[in-house]
Structure 1
Amino acid sequence: MINILIDETSVLEVLNIIETAPDSTLILVDLDETLFLRNSTQEYLNTLQPRVLGWLLLTLLNFLKPWNWLPGKIKGEVSRDWMRVLVATLLFPWTIILWQWRTKQLAQAYGNTTLIRALTKNANSRVILTTQGFGFIVRSLCKHLPITFNDVIACRFWQGAIDRQRGKHFLVTALLGENEIARAIAITDSNDDNQLLASVATPCLVIWPEAKYVSAMADVYIPFLYLERAKRPGERYFVKKILLDDFVVLILGLSLVNSQPILHAISMLFLILSFWCIYELGYVENDIVAERFEKKPTLSKTYQKYKNRISVWQAWLWSVIFAVLGLIVLELTKVISSDKSFPSEVGALDLVTILTNMALWIGLLLVVRVTFYAYNHVDKQTRIWLYFILQAYKYFSFLVVTKTNIIGAILFIAQVISRWIPYFVYRLTNSEWLKDLPHQLVGLVIFGFIIIAVALGTQNSSILMNWQTLAILIWSAYRAKSQFLKIVHEIHPISSEKIIV
């Protein structure tokens, strides 16, 4: 019967077993979460550079699950880590070099000094490292652990799927033989090693308190990931609210009146990504402030998991990259024409204008960041007025580097007011019915009211008979149709209501 040792006493017992073992005793010791208090495979994958591309690769592999395409016994989760290591190493071959540089730091930080000290005290024992990790990863790490191994048994690179399917017991038996194993001590944290534990004289299944399984790229900063996974989990906020709402508003209000609407829309896409890299920092700060100062903060279940994955400097770096791309494309809209070649058009770009716009845009983002900071650190009643300004930034900020017409300005005003009204009422009443407030319909009504008022006030009906106005009305009506139909469906004579005396 296998002894399952999981508490502090069991750790002490394992240490005593090691230190009192007879000379020449064979000790089979696991690596991941045992001798090394992290997972070597995950740490190797965490070394991928550039990290964003590494994260994208691992995310794609997790989505496609190519290990399920493998034949026979190696199909499925048993080959997952092997497939990820194989593909990542082939596509990012420099990772092997980066791993060599990183292993010393990892060994010093996460080596299990308690276990290593016990193993080195018994100098006459034979210590063999046995792991389901991969040889080229493990051996580089072991060189920096303060212990000498008699051998290292690990999975091969090309045949890793086969080795992992066969299991650790098969690999150890193939090298040492059953008789040798029958007299050994085996130390591991994994129930997957039950067959090996059942074969040795002294099995030790022990969970080390300091050990922690950390997935690869668990701390990498990805723009908008916090927004999607922590602030608005399950809402597809980036697609529904940023791309299909705010971005479309910018196209209708700005790009449609530009001489190069497609190029202009592309530039606005880059700039809205730049804007939201910084705006997202305000959301993170909002949750952190709520956690710190509110008695009952409204935080998502995933908040704790993602709050430490935000990097302020990386957010600004991404924002600058998106802004540069957006402003270059925006400048292209001014110089591009059908009678010139593309290289000559690029050569005609005004670098001074691009740099000036860049300075204006960065300055604007700094103002947005300061405003959001103020919003997060004042009382909730005062937030009502700053919320209006924050909503205005989402549209009017872009006028720092481009321009619109009166129709676009009215559209922006309608969007800002339609979002501010529910928040205003919510802060004053905290009413649950605001969840059902028809925001899109309110925006449509405000836009229609203002544009009609302007047309009447200026005696200029052309803004009503305008293709841009028509496009905005069609889009707004499409978004609001379900809300409008709901209101129509609920219309009924007051006589049908029961009067309670």
Structure 2
Amino acid sequence: MINSLGYDTSVADVVNIIETAPDSTPIIVDLDETLFLRNSTQEYLNSLQPRFLGWLLLMFLNLLKPWNWLPGEIKGEVSRDWMRVFVATLLFPWTIILWQRRAKQLAKANGNTTLIQALTKNRNSRIIIATLGFSWIVRPLCKHLPISFNSVIACRFWQGARDRQRGKDFLVKASLGMNEVARAIAITDSNDDNQLLASVATPCFVIWPEAKYISAMSDVYIPFLYLERAKRPGDKYFVKKILLDDFVLLILGLSLANSQPIPHAISMFFLLLSFWCIYELGYVENDIIAERFEKEPTLSETYQKYKNRINVWQAWLWSVIFAFPGLIILELNKVVSNNINFAAEASALNLVTISTDMALWMGLLVVARVTFYAYNLVDKKTRIWLYFILQSYKCFGFLVVTTTNIIGSILFIAQVISRWIPYFIYRFSKSEWLKALPNQVVRLFLFGFIIIAIMLGTQNSSIIMSWQTWVIFGWCTFKARNEILKIFREMHPISQEK
């Protein structure tokens, strides 16, 4: 591969240049993706523990971009890596200790064998490892590479931003002197080293085929990330479907039937997150099975990137973590409902009830997981009946730990059927009109129909006069507004039918 200044050396040429170099020739070797076939900075950041907090820190820094606040020449992307490792080391100081062991493992697994063997054969040359990585990161790596070297030139901890701004050429000349550099061999894979390549006697620009650049935390498990980035990329599925549909449905069907709707809604929020941690596993499994067994699977372009980021045990762990506050708030809600003063709430918490609710909740999640597993394994026509059950879990499943009233039950019935009908038709038809099926109108229609049917059957109008009923009607109508307008716009006399 030719770099921006036209330097291009094959692997075979590099090996030959090293092995035939005159005695005492300085050989300046880049570290990242060259002598070490990974990026030391990314691997160090990937060592942050706890990993989820490390991921949050890196996401926060990427969002905030504090390197753009630095003064003068060190402002901007040149200081990005330094700022990330600097802040990460200060906030996660134990990483330096953890890194010693991880560096040893990485060095043994990712040393550039071809380059190391060539350098080892030329025992009379001076080997200098020069990198814009950071000294407290690269030195433990270099120590465990199977090669003897004379010195390591790297960026410092406090002055790392200035060192990176000055560049590798400056650092190497400051350490070795201009005369030594002028007769040296330089081996690198980076276009950022063009100035150094222009300064040495024998420049070697080479991309090693075994080298891999892996971003820090690229494999960390994040709840709901697969839904957002792989299953429904660009659809804002978490916000639009889980929060603005499923969560609102739980508020209308469950929380509004409770004497303390706000704390009850908060508890439902945590339990919904807990539920979707496990439900998401079914989506991942569905795509993996489709990839294995279907001739033309419908998979997103980002599927391959994210399918390996799912960790089943971590998903269950997160589910339990989300469930705990949900069930505790739910129990506190019962305490408040019983008119016990706030000071006595903590002591009034019934641990037996919370434990029982946790067992029931985890039982629901296990059953939902098994059902989704069965759904993914059976033929597509049989999936129709399991799909109905899966949709039922999303609303009726929450009744294992809380209660509702007849209005909430009717809303859930309307929800399940309105989601099942399109799927039923989908499995028996591939028509384009299915994409425009008015799901929201179906739900509104079903809810209204069942409410009126119960009112007429019981001769009791209180159900239709309930404020909960009208709030649900309002929400369903609002969600269906565009579909309703479309229906009215498309109305026309039969005489105009084509």
TM-score by length of 2: 0.97
Q: Deviations over 1:405-444 (max 9, x none)?
A: 1000000010111111111111101122222112111111
Whole-Å separation in 1 of the counterparts to 2:139 and 2:55:
25
Residue pair 2:247, 2:269 contacting (<8 A) in 1 also: yes
Q: Deviations over 1:319-376 (max 9, x none)?
A: 1111122111111111126975545211111111111111111111111111101111
Once superposed, which parts of structure 1, at least 4 consecutive aligned residues long, lie more than 3 Å away?
337-343
What is aligned with 1:49?
49
Whole-Å separation in 2 of the counterparts to 1:285 and 1:337:
41
Q: Show the 5 A alignment for 1:39-118.
A: 39-118=39-118
Q: Deviations over 1:145-190 (max 9, x none)?
A: 1222211111112221221111111111122222111110111111
What is aligned with 1:371?
371
Question: 1:239 Cα deviation (Å)?
Answer: 0.7
Q: Specify the code of the residue in structure 1 equivalent to 2:8.
A: I
Question: 1:284 Cα deviation (Å)?
Answer: 0.2
What is aligned with 1:419?
419
What is aligned with 1:249?
249
SS in 1 for 2:394: helix
Confirm or deny that 1:285 pairs with 2:285.
yes
Question: 1:207 Cα deviation (Å)?
Answer: 1.0
Q: Deviations over 1:207-233 (max 9, x none)?
A: 111110000000000000001000000
What is aligned with 2:351?
351
* Range with greater deviation from structure 2 (32-41 or 70-79): 70-79
Q: Specify the code of the residue in structure 2 equivalent to 1:4.
A: D
What is aligned with 2:385?
385
What is aligned with 1:4?
8
Residue pair 2:231, 2:300 contacting (<8 A) in 1 also: yes
What is aligned with 2:17?
17
Whole-Å separation in 2 of the counterparts to 1:2 and 1:294:
47
What is aligned with 2:496?
496
Whole-Å separation in 1 of the counterparts to 2:486 and 2:6:
65
Whole-Å separation in 1 of the counterparts to 2:343 and 2:114:
65
Whole-Å separation in 2 of the counterparts to 1:219 and 1:255:
37
Whole-Å separation in 1 of the counterparts to 2:391 and 2:495:
41
**Cα distance 1:112–1:121, how it changes in 2: closer, same or farther (>3 A)?**
same
Whole-Å separation in 2 of the counterparts to 1:260 and 1:18:
76
Whole-Å separation in 2 of the counterparts to 1:109 and 1:375:
41
* Range with greater deviation from structure 2 (232-241 or 84-93): 84-93
Q: Specify the code of the residue in structure 1 equivalent to 2:89.
A: T
Gaps of 5+ in 1: none
SS in 2 for 1:336: helix
**Cα distance 1:35–1:340, how it changes in 2: closer, same or farther (>3 A)?**
same
Q: Show the 5 A alignment for 1:267-346.
A: 267-336=267-336, 340=340, 342-346=342-346
Q: Specify the code of the residue in structure 1 equivalent to 2:317.
A: L
Q: Specify the code of the residue in structure 1 equivalent to 2:452.
A: I
Whole-Å separation in 1 of the counterparts to 2:442 and 2:87:
51
Residue pair 1:29, 1:130 contacting (<8 A) in 2 also: yes
Whole-Å separation in 2 of the counterparts to 1:237 and 1:173:
54
Residue pair 1:197, 1:203 contacting (<8 A) in 2 also: yes
Residue pair 1:260, 1:333 contacting (<8 A) in 2 also: yes
* Range with greater deviation from structure 2 (483-492 or 61-70): 61-70
What is aligned with 1:235?
235
Whole-Å separation in 2 of the counterparts to 1:487 and 1:312:
44
Residue pair 2:260, 2:337 contacting (<8 A) in 1 also: no
SS in 1 for 2:235: coil
SS in 2 for 1:360: helix
* Range with greater deviation from structure 2 (29-38 or 138-147): 138-147
Whole-Å separation in 1 of the counterparts to 2:70 and 2:322:
39
Whole-Å separation in 2 of the counterparts to 1:113 and 1:262:
62
Whole-Å separation in 1 of the counterparts to 2:105 and 2:459:
74
What percentage of residue pairs aligned between the two structures are identical? 78
Residue pair 1:274, 1:322 contacting (<8 A) in 2 also: yes
Whole-Å separation in 2 of the counterparts to 1:81 and 1:305:
23
Q: Specify the code of the residue in structure 2 equivalent to 1:268.
A: M
Question: 1:100 Cα deviation (Å)?
Answer: 1.7
Residue pair 2:44, 2:99 contacting (<8 A) in 1 also: yes
**Cα distance 1:410–1:187, how it changes in 2: closer, same or farther (>3 A)?**
same
Whole-Å separation in 1 of the counterparts to 2:493 and 2:69:
63
Residue pair 2:259, 2:337 contacting (<8 A) in 1 also: no
Whole-Å separation in 2 of the counterparts to 1:163 and 1:428:
65
SS in 2 for 1:464: helix
Whole-Å separation in 2 of the counterparts to 1:133 and 1:343:
55
Whole-Å separation in 1 of the counterparts to 2:489 and 2:97:
67
Whole-Å separation in 2 of the counterparts to 1:343 and 1:134:
53
What is aligned with 1:360?
360
Whole-Å separation in 1 of the counterparts to 2:283 and 2:244:
20
Question: 1:476 Cα deviation (Å)?
Answer: 0.9
Question: 1:123 Cα deviation (Å)?
Answer: 1.4
Whole-Å separation in 2 of the counterparts to 1:66 and 1:239:
28
Confirm or deny that 1:31 pairs with 2:35.
no
**Cα distance 1:342–1:50, how it changes in 2: closer, same or farther (>3 A)?**
farther
TM-score by length of 1: 0.96
SS in 2 for 1:244: helix
SS in 2 for 1:127: strand
Question: 1:194 Cα deviation (Å)?
Answer: 1.0
Whole-Å separation in 1 of the counterparts to 2:399 and 2:11:
65
**Cα distance 1:405–1:128, how it changes in 2: closer, same or farther (>3 A)?**
same
Residue pair 1:45, 1:85 contacting (<8 A) in 2 also: yes
Q: Show the 5 A alignment for 1:114-129.
A: 114-129=114-129
Residue pair 1:2, 1:203 contacting (<8 A) in 2 also: no
Question: 1:69 Cα deviation (Å)?
Answer: 2.5
Residue pair 1:2, 1:197 contacting (<8 A) in 2 also: no
Whole-Å separation in 1 of the counterparts to 2:230 and 2:84:
26
